Chains A and B, each alone.
Chain A
């Protein structure tokens, strides 16, 4: 089954404790992206990657890092989480030949205390 998976689905942590949210897709898509969803703000792009070792900032990259060492994986790293990063996070992927039709993961709900 074609899918985008994220782990963990739920995470509660404390300020300053480094964490990683994993994202993996099995569709051989070149493009992957991270979004955060906040009430009243919709989805905002954090980082995206056009292919292995190619990443770039989205609209709200501050406080986040990403890496793309393999085509299927695109982890989101919070080196020192803060309460304003409490949010619902989505990973998405698409084939560059696929007219921007993005496939989304199930989401990770992060709470930073």
Chain B
């Protein structure tokens, strides 16, 4: 069965510092990987996604993530965090291919706090 692990429940960083949020997945086939962000009281917004090709993917708001197949990881990074990045971040994995059932499995989330 597919699963996603986000080992850090809560992370605090100072504004301007770099950020890395960890995500490990277990999946029996080629996965599609996603990072979503949830601001307080809001729905989920897609930050970036990985389907194939270049293992370093760029997303919105200055975020990037690197897919490492050998480590089953898809860590999210940002070089300089802004106070507005404070939110909850979810990693998700889904089946590769289009036209198929689009079940996403989510991690339990990492809550990011940014100190000024």
Contact = CB atoms under 8 A, between A and B. Distances in A.
Interface of A: 4, 31, 33, 35, 40-45, 48, 50, 56, 58, 90, 92, 94, 96-107
B103 A58 contact: yes
B107 A100 contact: no
A31 B98 contact: no
**What is the predominant secondary structure among interface residues of chain A facing chain B?**
strand
A40 B108 contact: yes
Contacts of B100: 96
Contacts, number: 65
B93 to A, nearest CB: 9
B103 A45 contact: yes
A48 to B, nearest CB: 7
Contact of A90 (B43, B46, B49, B109): B43
Contact of B101 (A4, A48, A97, A107): A48
Nearest to B97: A99
A101 B98 contact: no
A100 B95 contact: yes
B34 interface: yes
